[in-house]
Structure 1
Amino acid sequence: MGRPIDARGWYFEVEDTTTPATPVWHRIGNVNSWSYSPSENEETADTTTNDSEGAYEQDVMQRGATLEVTGLWSQTGTTRDPGQNYIDNTWAWKLGSESRGRMRYRHKSQADWTVWECTVTPGEQGGEHNAKTSWGATFTRCGFPDTEPVTATPEP
């Protein structure tokens, strides 16, 4: 039986396509909580008939998923965290087919990234007078996930 893995050992990155010839992956910094919902946007069709003998039956017609990351607004001097900045100031403003981008995630113990084509919804930001400013984003997967091997170790 395996050992549980730490929730803090996950990396989340977004693909910056502002220079299409050389896209760059930016790690999303200062994440302190995340939530993966593998059944979000799932749709089913009721297939119950008289032949079901009183038992419910269904087929899954659509699969979906969301991944939400929350944490703290990250900035050093006047420079924003590159991942947060790309989400807030570039990706979140795109509409239509341009609203799709890519994000990827993995645990530090894994040799492959899980890659999503997805849309992003910026999260709420705020805080009280003795708190740090919150930050977050929700990714909604479009299509099925893909994988790609890890080629470089992300910076902590």
Structure 2
Amino acid sequence: MDSKAERHVTLKKGSIDMDGNDAFKMLLEDSAREAYLRPWHRLERGLRLNRIRIFIEEIAPQYEMTKEDRDKFFEFLLKALDKKLLNTLKVVQYDQDTQRIVTIRGLEIKRNAEGILKWAFSAKKIKTEGTRKKKKEELPSVSTEIKPVESDKIEE
């Protein structure tokens, strides 16, 4: 028995020309675009993180956030996402057409007297016993929509 004759020979495969796979590339790009068109609760964690980053960049000028503030705020929202506080459609209002977060209900951002930016989720209200339906009270929320400033001048 000749050991060299019985050995398996590794075949070298030719390289695949990627220029001919335009249909495959288009399929991948389309599926990536369609991923953000899903409702918020159907987005994967990485896609949600991306949308949260964009949300922070959109509201940063409104609250005059520094880079350090944005980083800390992202960590805060990341922890909230991990604690499943941002999982429901009731908390995060996500516009599928623009693929952006519009509002996060219950999120409060304020600047204190020293000029330090603080953020937190408003505490949930304790449920009182009763049989009648009560009117829902509005929770504070942070939104990307900029509201027009009304002037205090009196028109003459």
Tell which structure's C-alpha radius of gyration is larger.
Answer: 2
Whether TM-score is above 0.5 comes out as no
Q: TM-score, normalised by structure 2?
A: 0.26
Q: Which has the higher helix share?
A: 2
Q: Which has the higher strand share?
A: 1
Q: TM-score, normalised by structure 1?
A: 0.26
Q: Determine which structure has greater relative contact order: mean sequence separation of CA pairs < 8 Å that are 6+ residues apart, divided by chain length.
A: 1
